[in-house]
């Protein structure tokens, strides 16, 4: 076959045709794919690499590209262009049908259909689908399901062809169609930047690529407005509630820049003022020592922070009359009956909780926060109060319920989220029906969840917030617990005395040493460890991966732990040799290897298998599962292409389009572990993590372990983590709003113009 070359001396362009056997890797965001192709008259599978809008195992592809010799992986075919053709062989048709492309047809059903109709299969499905009833095991109900799936595909085919022509994956094309229906093409053509706010998974970067493909100008006002909001959204991922205007301009200029286009700061500033005028941005004036700063908020952030501060002050303003002598008498009886002596700090906390509307209970591990909370709950019960308990995560709520003997819920369930309206049903007009509310792990409260929670607290109720400010702050924007404490407006009890029984734990003692900037006392790993805090000094990341495998294979089972149930690997980062991505593949193969009786499926290069531990990665209000919830895959239906995950309280099913919401969780980041405890924690720390290493990161990771913690890596990485106090300033005005700073003027935007 003749070939051509684009440039003299470059490899010739060649053509290749074959059937996709399997995907090694596929990114929905970029389309970058590594796959294995079976070509006619070749015994070995061919590795193909390129960008594909949509690709499935079983597809027959005609490819144009060049051959490259990869130094590590050998010969690869670099794809420049491709098109799909109908599969021509029985095996190809079977793989194509069973790939998950058609809901209701999995590998088993595909095999039956092809066995019955042979090479006529695709024509029959397209023109005489009712004949599928002839296939053994396919009932009318299944035929109807397949027909519905095909009709749906036909309805969106035009949309998908259009979008794929502009680099949009099938998954996102379906979501776009669900969002806009028949107006999809018109909407995307007119303003593709709407996708960034309307469709989950499509951010500004993807929308910008689509816009450029459509020929939209880089200085489009739509682009500037979307870019500015994107920059604020990115800053929220760093914990910020706003950005000072100069910083917003600087970040926006960098974000909007293209290889052939450089925006000017004054253009960005002009659009900021235009967005203020259109209420797309809200600006707060902050005057300090004669100079005025302009602080730029996305409206939801401003409203949440402003109303949170007002509601907290409203709660604090409501008086409460309590007989303190009766409270002290009850406390004396309680200590006598339980044969437990509370410290002076704990007793003070109980008395304060009885007499104040809002109280914060804080302190490190082993200082008695849990027992103090339990005592406060017992007191409130004795006072005849209706009490509710909640925590940000399902696991933390379950633990809170166990230690208090009182039902506890997640905050989302407590607030009764309604998927139809996409709002919490509990609010200031319909408050939580309780006289007292306990919120544990309050350090995890971000701005929006805190605002939703506080406004749902009845002004006649009491609120106890329990948390440890030395842990990592919330994943979401704000620094709510710390701001509440430093405002000076809320009664606070900080427990500092470490109890004798807690002092026996080296995990707790070392956590306090780390907090004080001291290196932990660590015992080297041995077959018979004498403490619950160990160290394995594997010097390089590659050694660390091997060391973790050996711990899970040998030491931990010998100590009586079951890796599939008891062991959690916590990493500072997702990337790198000892990041969560790499370790999840290693640990899955080690702890939950493939087995004929364990169904599995592959999506975008990720293998999901029955028995796998998985993590919910976004808030899904329809399924009532939330970012950070951890569960185990209990079933995979290859016919329906459905994955069922069992969480702490119930089971949840995902179809193919929503599988990007979950990921493997044999290894998770320390940030994602907040609010959870595990019998055994393995904590790899290496200098390649230096960007993330910090004292509160190490402290948080270590204190997730209940029975045994094992630090893996060189001591200099541990030392660096202890030295780096990365309580990086988060841009938030909550503390100032609570502490008597003049009220925010909601008409400031027009005043600035």
Rounded Cα–Cα distance for residues 640 and 651 (Å): 17
Residue 361 vs residues 7, 507, 703, 746: alpha-carbon distances, Å: 70, 22, 18, 33
Q: What pLDDT sits at residue 727? A: 55
Domain boundary among 497, 522, 543: 497
- Three-state SS across 207-227? HHHHHHHCCCCCCCHHHHHHH
Do both 383 and 466 map to the same domain?
Answer: yes
**Mean pLDDT (whole number) for 322-345:** 92
478 is in an annotated binding site: no
369 is in an annotated binding site: yes
370 is in an annotated binding site: yes
Q: Does the pLDDT at position 325 exceed 60?
A: yes
Q: What is the pLDDT of residues 673-707, one digit of tens each?
A: 988 899 999 999 999 888 889 999 999 999 999 99
Q: What pLDDT sits at residue 32? A: 73
Do both 316 and 453 map to the same domain?
Answer: yes
Domain boundary among 297, 316, 347: 297
Do both 481 and 444 map to the same domain?
Answer: yes
**Boundaries of domain holding 530:** 505-608+663-723
| Residue 446, in any domain of the structure | yes
Rounded Cα–Cα distance for residues 241 and 408 (Å): 30
| Residue 138, in any domain of the structure | no
Do both 374 and 442 map to the same domain?
Answer: yes
740 is in an annotated binding site: no
Helices (H) and strands (E) in the chain, counts: 29, 29
Most confident of 80-89, 169-178, 480-489, 644-653: 480-489
Residue 309 Ramachandran class (φ > 0 left, ψ -120 to 50 alpha, else beta)? alpha
3-state secondary structure of 594: coil
Tokens 């990115």 identify what position? 234
| Residue 648, in any domain of the structure | no
| Residue 2, in any domain of the structure | no
To the nearest whole number, what is the mean pLDDT of the chain? 87
Q: What pLDDT sits at residue 741? A: 46
Do both 360 and 325 map to the same domain?
Answer: yes
Q: Does the pLDDT at position 163 exceed 50?
A: yes
Q: What is the pLDDT of residues 499-556, one digit of tens each?
A: 867 778 999 999 999 999 999 999 999 988 999 999 999 999 999 999 999 999 999 9
Do both 356 and 461 map to the same domain?
Answer: yes
Q: What pLDDT sits at residue 353? A: 94
Do both 284 and 371 map to the same domain?
Answer: no
Q: What pLDDT sits at residue 185? A: 85
Q: What is the pLDDT of residues 107-145, one digit of tens each?
A: 888 888 999 999 888 888 878 888 999 998 888 888 888
Antiparallel, parallel or unpaired: β 32-38 and 358-363 = unpaired
Do both 323 and 463 map to the same domain?
Answer: yes
Domain boundary among 451, 478, 497: 497
699 Cβ partners below 8 Å, 6+ apart? 470, 471, 511, 514, 515
Instruction: Dig out the tokens for 407 from the structure.
Output: 């039902």
Rounded Cα–Cα distance for residues 53 and 176 (Å): 15
604 Cβ partners below 8 Å, 6+ apart? 23, 25, 26, 27, 28, 660
Beta bridge partners of 410: 391
Q: Does the pLDDT at position 749 exceed 50?
A: no
How many structural domains compose the chain? 4
Do both 677 and 695 map to the same domain?
Answer: yes
Read off the pTM.
Answer: 0.75
Do both 546 and 598 map to the same domain?
Answer: yes
| Residue 134, in any domain of the structure | no
CATH number reported for the structural domain that contains residue 35 in this entry: 2.40.50.140
Do both 474 and 574 map to the same domain?
Answer: no
| Residue 104, in any domain of the structure | no
Q: Does the pLDDT at position 669 exceed 90?
A: yes
**Mean pLDDT (whole number) for 336-355:** 92
CATH number reported for the structural domain that contains residue 709 in this entry: 3.40.50.300
453 Cβ partners below 8 Å, 6+ apart? 411, 414, 415, 439, 445
Q: Does the pLDDT at position 663 exceed 50?
A: yes
| Helix orientation angle between 369-382 and 394-404, rounded to the nearest 10 degrees | 60
368 is in an annotated binding site: yes
Rounded Cα–Cα distance for residues 674 and 160 (Å): 40
| Residue 397, in any domain of the structure | yes
Q: What is the DSSP letter of 134?
A: G
| Rounded-to-10 torsion of CA 335, 340, 343, 348 | -30
**Mean pLDDT (whole number) for 340-352:** 93
Q: Does the pLDDT at position 745 exceed 70?
A: no
Q: What is the pLDDT of residues 262-311, one digit of tens each?
A: 988 998 999 998 998 888 999 998 887 778 899 999 999 999 999 999 99
Contact 21, 45 (CB under 8 A): yes
| Residue 135, in any domain of the structure | no
**Mean pLDDT (whole number) for 451-462:** 96
Phi, psi at 394, each rounded to 5°: -65, -40
Q: What is the DSSP letter of 620?
A: B
Indicate the pLDDT class of residue 750, thresholds 50, 70 and 90.
very low
**Mean pLDDT (whole number) for 641-667:** 87
Do both 512 and 492 map to the same domain?
Answer: no
């Amino acid at each position: 076959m003749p070939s051509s070359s684009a440039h003299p001396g470059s490899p010739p362009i060649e053509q290749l045709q074959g059937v996709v056997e399997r995907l090694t890797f596929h990114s929905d965001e970029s389309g970058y794919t590594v796959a294995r192709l079976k070509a006619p008259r070749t015994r070995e599978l061919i590795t193909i690499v390129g960008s594909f809008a949509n690709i499935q195992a079983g597809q027959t592809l005609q490819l144009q590209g060049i051959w490259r010799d990869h130094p590590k992986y050998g010969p690869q075919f670099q794809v420049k262009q491709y098109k799909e053709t109908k599969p021509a062989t029985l095996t190809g048709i079977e793989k194509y049908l069973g790939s998950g492309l058609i809901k209701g047809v999995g590998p088993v059903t595909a095999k039956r259909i092809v066995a019955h109709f042979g090479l006529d299969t695709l024509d029959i499905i397209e023109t005489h689908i009712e004949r599928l009833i002839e296939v053994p095991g396919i009932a009318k109900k299944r035929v109807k399901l397949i027909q519905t799936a095909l009709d749906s595909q036909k309805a969106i085919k035009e949309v998908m062809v259009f979008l794929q022509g502009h680099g949009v994956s099938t998954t996102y094309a379906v979501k776009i169609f669900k969002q806009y229906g028949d107006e999809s093409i018109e909407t995307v053509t007119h303003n593709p930047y709407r996708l960034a706010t309307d469709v989950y998974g499509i951010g500004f970067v993807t929308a910008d690529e689509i816009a450029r493909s459509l020929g939209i100008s880089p200085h489009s006002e739509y682009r500037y407005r979307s870019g500015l909001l994107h920059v604020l959204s990115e800053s929220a991922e760093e914990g910020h509630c706003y950005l000072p205007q100069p910083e917003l301009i600087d970040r926006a200029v960098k974000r909007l820049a293209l290889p052939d286009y450089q925006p000017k700061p004054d253009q960005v500033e002009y659009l900021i003022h235009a967005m203020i005028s259109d209420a797309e941005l809200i600006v707060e004036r902050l005057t300090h020592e004669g100079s005025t700063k302009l602080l730029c908020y996305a409206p939801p952030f401003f409203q949440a922070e402003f109303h949170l501060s007002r509601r907290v002050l409203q709660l604090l303003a409501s008086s409460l009359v309590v007989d303190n002598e009766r409270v002290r008498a009850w406390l004396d009886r309680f200590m006598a009956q339980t044969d437990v002596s509370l410290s002076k700090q704990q007793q003070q906390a109980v008395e304060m909780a009885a007499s104040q509307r809002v109280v914060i209970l804080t302190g490190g591990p082993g200082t008695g926060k849990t027992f103090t909370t339990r005592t406060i709950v017992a007191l409130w019960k004795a006072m005849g109060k209706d009490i509710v308990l909640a925590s940000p995560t399902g696991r933390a709520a379950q633990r809170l319920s166990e230690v208090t003997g009182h039902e506890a819920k997640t905050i989302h369930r407590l607030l009764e989220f309604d998927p139809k309206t996409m709002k919490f049903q509990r609010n200031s007009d319909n408050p939580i029906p309780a006289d007292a509310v306990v919120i544990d792990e309050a350090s995890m409260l971000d701005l929006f969840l805190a605002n939703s929670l506080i406004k749902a607290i009845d002004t006649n109720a009491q609120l106890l917030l329990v948390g440890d400010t030395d842990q990592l702050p919330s994943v979401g924007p704000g620094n709510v617990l710390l701001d509440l404490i430093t405002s000076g407006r809320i009664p606070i009890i900080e427990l500092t005395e470490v109890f004798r029984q807690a002092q026996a734990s080296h995990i707790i003692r070392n956590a306090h040493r780390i907090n004080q900037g001291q290196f932990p006392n660590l015992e080297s790993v041995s077959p018979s460890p004498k403490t619950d805090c160990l160290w394995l000094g594997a010097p390089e990341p590659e050694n660390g991966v091997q060391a973790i495998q050996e711990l899970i294979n040998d030491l931990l089972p010998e100590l009586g732990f079951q890796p599939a149930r008891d062991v959690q690997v916590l990493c500072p980062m997702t990337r790198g040799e000892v990041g969560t991505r790499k370790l999840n593949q290693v640990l899955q193969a080690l702890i939950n290897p493939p087995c004929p009786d364990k169904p599995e499926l592959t999506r975008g290069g990720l293998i999901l298998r029955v028995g796998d531990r998985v993590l919910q990665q976004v808030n899904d209000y329809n399924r009532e599962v939330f970012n950070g919830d951890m569960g185990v895959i209990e079933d995979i239906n290859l016919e329906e292409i459905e994955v069922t995950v069992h969480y702490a309280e119930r089971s949840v099913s995902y179809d193919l389009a929503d599988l990007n919401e979950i990921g493997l969780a044999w290894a998770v980041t320390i940030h994602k572990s907040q609010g959870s405890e595990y019998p055994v924690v393995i904590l790899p720390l290496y200098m390649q993590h230096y960007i993330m290493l910090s004292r509160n990161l190490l402290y948080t990771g270590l204190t997730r372990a209940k029975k045994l913690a094992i630090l893996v890596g060189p001591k200099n990485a541990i030392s660096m983590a202890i030295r780096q106090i990365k309580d990086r300033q988060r841009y938030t005005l909550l503390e100032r709003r609570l502490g008597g700073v003049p009220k925010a003027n909601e008409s400031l935007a027009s005043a600035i113009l």
